[in-house]
């Protein structure tokens, strides 16, 4: 029986155009929580008898900003996440050279920090901010908060929010289209660290027409098309065993 890591290495070596489709499980080894595991962000909110789709929505942000921002600050660990072995491997793979495309559901920008050049952020990122009233853009260090811990624009007192896609908002059409094009033109698709339960992201993988599909995830995924290799391990630990 062929070793799964050896087979993964073989498929990567043979491929020229690789799309890595990743979710929260890619960054858990960087100290960031996932969403739907036993200790995930959604699960923790549900333990508090809160509906994640409600308290992580744009409507909740607008109508109850003090609760939105204080809930977020309470739940987040005071850590500065760093890229892990998966992020670094994918970035270094471009130097082989390989045409490596990253499509991520994460908002942490760890792929860019590691050095990846082509990253499509389906749900935006938490490093860019703007005022919801005037549209002025702010860097994290420029943000000022009021006595209720709400980020406010000093010009018009509008709420400053991160450029992330919340519940009740749609992924930008141009971002979705770019992701479709990259997947459709790849010969290897690696699906990693995602439950594939969120629309429309879960449907993107159906645009793949290439040769091989690999899944790296601790829990089984329901995918209605052929998968060539399944590795039920942590994403970073898996990539740590590969060579460039």
Question: How is residue 153 written in tokens?
Answer: 């624009």
Query: What percent of the chain is helix, strand and coil (3-state, nearest 5)?
Result: 35, 20, 45
Cβ within 8 Å of residue 80, ≥6 positions away: none
Asked if 26 and 81 count as a contact pair (C-beta separation under 8 A), the reply is no
Instruction: Show Cβ contacts of residue 13 under 8 Å, excluding neighbours closer than 6 positions.
Output: none
Known catalytic membership, residue 123: yes
Q: What are phi and psi of 190, to 5 degrees?
A: -110, 115
C-alpha angle 170-172-174 in degrees, rounded to nearest 5: 150
Length reported for the chain: 244
φ, ψ for residue 87 (rounded to 5)?
-60, -45
H or E segment and range at residue 9? helix 4-14
Question: DSSP assignment, residue 160?
Answer: E
**String of DSSP letters for 101-113:** EEEES--S-HHHH
**Which residue out of 87, 111, 123, 199 is catalytically annotated?**
123
Active-site positions read 123
């Amino acid at each position: 029986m062929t070793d799964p890591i050896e087979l993964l290495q073989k498929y990567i070596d043979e491929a020229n155009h690789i799309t890595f489709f990743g979710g929260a499980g890619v960054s858990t080894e960087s100290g960031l929580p996932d969403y739907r595991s036993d200790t995930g962000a959604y699960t923790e909110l549900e333990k508090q008898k809160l509906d994640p789709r409600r308290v992580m929505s744009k409507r909740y942000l607008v109508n109850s900003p003090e609760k939105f921002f204080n809930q977020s600050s309470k739940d987040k660990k005071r850590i500065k996440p760093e890229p892990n072995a998966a992020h670094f491997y994918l970035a270094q793979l471009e130097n082989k050279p390989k045409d490596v495309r990253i499509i991520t559901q994460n908002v942490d920008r760890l792929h860019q920090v590691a050095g990846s050049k082509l990253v499509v952020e389906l749900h935006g990122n938490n490093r860019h901010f703007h005022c919801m009233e005037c549209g002025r853009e702010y860097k994290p260090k420029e943000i000022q908060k009021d006595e209720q811990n709400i980020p406010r624009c000093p010009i018009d007192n509008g709420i400053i929010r991160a450029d992330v896609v919340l519940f009740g908002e749609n992924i930008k059409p141009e971002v979705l289209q770019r992701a479709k094009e990259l997947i459709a033109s790849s010969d290897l698709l690696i699906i990693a660290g995602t439950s594939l339960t969120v629309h429309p992201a879960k449907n993107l993988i159906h645009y793949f027409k290439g040769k091989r599909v690999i899944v790296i995830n601790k829990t089984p995924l329901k995918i209605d098309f052929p998968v060539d290799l399944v590795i039920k391990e942590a994403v970073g630990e898996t990539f740590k065993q590969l060579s460039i």
